[in-house]
Amino acid sequence: MRIYTSCNDALDFCSICFPSESDAELDYYNLGDDPDSRGNRFGYNTEHPAYQDEDYHCETCGKLLGAEDD
């Protein structure tokens, strides 16, 4: 599961650590930077590449992500 911060940084989480939308907004919505002058780029539960057989890890716990985290 993926969140994009307001700065358009992709953060991937396992299904256990994935924050609620309200918690994600508190932590990632308004970081104060606009590096590409496109405004707030926050996205919750956005599209992402398939995690199975790839090297994506949970932002919070570090677990290798798999199909159950898509």
pLDDT reported for residue 63: 97
The candidate with the shortest Cα–Cα distance to 60, out of 29, 27, 33, is 27
Q: 67 by DSSP, 3-state: which?
A: helix
pLDDT digits (tens, 9 = 90+) for 9-59: 899 999 999 999 999 998 888 766 666 666 678 899 999 999 998 999 999
What are the sequence ranges of the domains in the chain?
A: 1-70
pLDDT reported for residue 33: 60
The candidate with the shortest Cα–Cα distance to 6, out of 36, 40, 39, 35, is 40
Q: Residue 39 — φ and ψ, nearest 5°?
A: 85, -170
Whole-number Å distance between alpha carbons of 27 and 31:
8
pLDDT reported for residue 41: 80
| pTM: predicted TM-score of the whole model, two decimal places | 0.84
Q: 22 by DSSP, 3-state: which?
A: helix
65 or 28, which is more confident: 65
